[in-house]
Amino acid sequence: MALRDFVNPNIVSLTPYQPGLPIEEVAREQGLDPGEICKLASNESALGASPKAIEAYLACATELHMYPDGGAWEIRHKLAEFYDLNPDQFILGCGSNEILELVGHCFLNETSSVVYSQYSFVVYQLVAKLFGAKGIEVPATDGLGHDLAAIRAAIQDDTRIVFVCTPNNPTGTMFSAKEFEAFIENWPQDVLLVLDEAYAEIALGSDIKSLQYLSHEIPLLITRTFSKAYGLAGLRLGYGISSPALIETLSRARQPFNVTLPALKAGLAAIEDQNFIHRSQDHYSKSCAVFEKFFKKYDIPYIPSGANFILVQTGNGQAVFEALMEKGVIVRPMATYKLPEHIRISYGTDKENQKAIDALIQVLSLES
């Protein structure tokens, strides 16, 4: 017997997460100048990060020999002030992905199940598999959004977690406050509802004010991140918001010092720079209009999106992805999400958006 024969079967059956391709790799493989490549593949911030966050990041360079504050006191208090909640309602993570994994640590095992929508963030099924829980994938609506009634109906006696996401990655679809309220009515007390709001600060046209539901006496965890609108994806900083009791449970599974010092410092400064968020919202709403106009002009089917990306049906997504890559535009093919006809394009700067549109015109042989 070799060590590999003893690998946890939950791990053996896992398909590792496939991230968007890094610029350096595409430059190497396509023989392109990295400066010429635009990466529109991972829903990162088009405007970089807040200058104040960058300043705070640089300023902590002389403190790098010290461990960060394991309890994240400052940023939890800042978030509490910002949202008018209590500091003990927040847990910080190495990206919101870590928070999604912590719920698995706390609530899942081989006897439990997890419910999530088809065409939703792939990490939900990864978390279910990691802990040997059964994943129950609920068919999406015709518009590729969450079918909340069907998700609710899919809950079994052994279901411990339901993941929902708005705006949803990779479709950009959203559900309304009214739909969400119907969804959570008489919510079972033994099922944790995780509302993934990674794109909350963008959420173009959304009417959900999710924090108010924290007082509804249901087991609700809201997850948010500094990776998207705040532009701190490289630092890895996300958080969960819930009841103090649930936060305390999740904290037990957290590793000491799970969040780095620069992430804590930059995150703190980023919250204070809401002007940056407003500028970003404005930019994404304009970018959305630019792409929608283009798709409408050429009759290319797309899914209306509330996030900083858009899912578009180009036909043969893998081939289109490869052809765009040769032109220095990295997007995300969607075959791993079982949408082989689609690609997902994250919004970039105005220049990058135009480069993507020009490249699509050539790749799809459209008349310009």
Ligand X SMILES: Cc1ncc(COP(=O)(O)O)c(C=O)c1O
Contact positions vs ligand X (CB under 6 A): 43, 95-97, 121, 165, 169, 196, 198, 225, 227, 233, 238
Q: Which is nearer to ligand X, 150 or 233 (CB)?
A: 233
- Nearest approach in angstroms of CB 88 to ligand X is 21
Tell me how far apart the alpha carbons of residues 144 and 165 are, in angstroms, rounded to a whole number.
13
- Nearest approach in angstroms of CB 143 to ligand X is 18
Report whether 166 contacts 208 (CB < 8 A): yes
- Nearest approach in angstroms of CB 64 to ligand X is 22
3-state SS, residue 240: strand
Sort strands 220-225 and 309-313 into parallel, antiparallel or unpaired: unpaired
- Nearest approach in angstroms of CB 352 to ligand X is 18
For Cα atoms 35, 201, 339, give the angle at the middle one, nearest 5 degrees.
65
Q: Which is nearer to ligand X, 43 or 159 (CB)?
A: 43
Q: Which is nearer to ligand X, 235 or 360 (CB)?
A: 235
With CB atoms as reference, the residue minimizing the distance to ligand X is 95
Start-to-end CA distance of the chain, whole Å, equals 62
Tell me how far apart the alpha carbons of residues 58 and 148 are, in angstroms, rounded to a whole number.
44
Q: Which is nearer to ligand X, 336 or 362 (CB)?
A: 336
Q: Which is nearer to ligand X, 68 or 93 (CB)?
A: 93
Sort strands 220-225 and 192-196 into parallel, antiparallel or unpaired: parallel
Q: Considering only CA atoms, which of 126, 130, 124, 172 is closest in space to residue 151? A: 124
- Nearest approach in angstroms of CB 126 to ligand X is 11
Q: Which is nearer to ligand X, 164 or 357 (CB)?
A: 164
According to DSSP, the residues that pair with 93 across neighbouring strands are 238
- Nearest approach in angstroms of CB 105 to ligand X is 16
Up-side HSE of residue 128: CA atoms within 13 Å toward CB? Answer: 21
Amino acid at 215: S
